[in-house]
């Protein structure tokens, strides 16, 4: 999935999580400044774990802010 496709679904940030054993910190990052043709997993290549410094980071769309969450996340 590219950022353009993600944005078309109403999502403007990614959820990033450190995959390093014993760390597993996570956060949400706004990606408005990045180009539309960038694949979501490639954002991880630009990141490091804030606590451990690892480059073993995974990024996925932050679906909790998208149109899906607005339409279906309320439990209706």
Residues 6+ apart with CB under 8 A from 5: none
Question: Is residue 31 exposed (0-12), middle (13-18) or buried (19+ Cβ within 10 Å)?
Answer: buried
- The total of structural domains in the chain comes to 1
Confidence of residue 51 (pLDDT cuts 50, 70, 90): confident
The whole-number average pLDDT for the span 34-53 is 94
Residue 73 lies in a domain: no
The whole-number average pLDDT for the span 8-27 is 94
Q: Structure tokens of 1?
A: 């999935």
Q: CA 46: distance to chain centroid?
A: 12
Confidence of residue 70 (pLDDT cuts 50, 70, 90): low
Per-residue burial over 60-71, b = 16 or more CB atoms within 10 Å of its CB, e = otherwise: bbbeebbeeeee
pTM: 0.83
- Please give the residue range of the domain that contains residue 32: 3-67
Residue 24 lies in a domain: yes
The whole-number average pLDDT for the span 9-22 is 95
């Amino acid at each position: 999935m590219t950022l353009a496709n993600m944005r078309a679904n109403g999502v403007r940030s990614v959820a990033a999580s450190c995959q390093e054993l014993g760390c597993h910190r996570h956060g949400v990052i706004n990606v408005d400044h990045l180009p539309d043709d960038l694949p979501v997993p490639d954002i991880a290549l630009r990141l490091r774990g804030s606590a451990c410094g690892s480059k073993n980071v995974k990024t996925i769309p932050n679906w909790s802010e998208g149109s899906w969450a607005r339409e279906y996340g309320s439990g209706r």
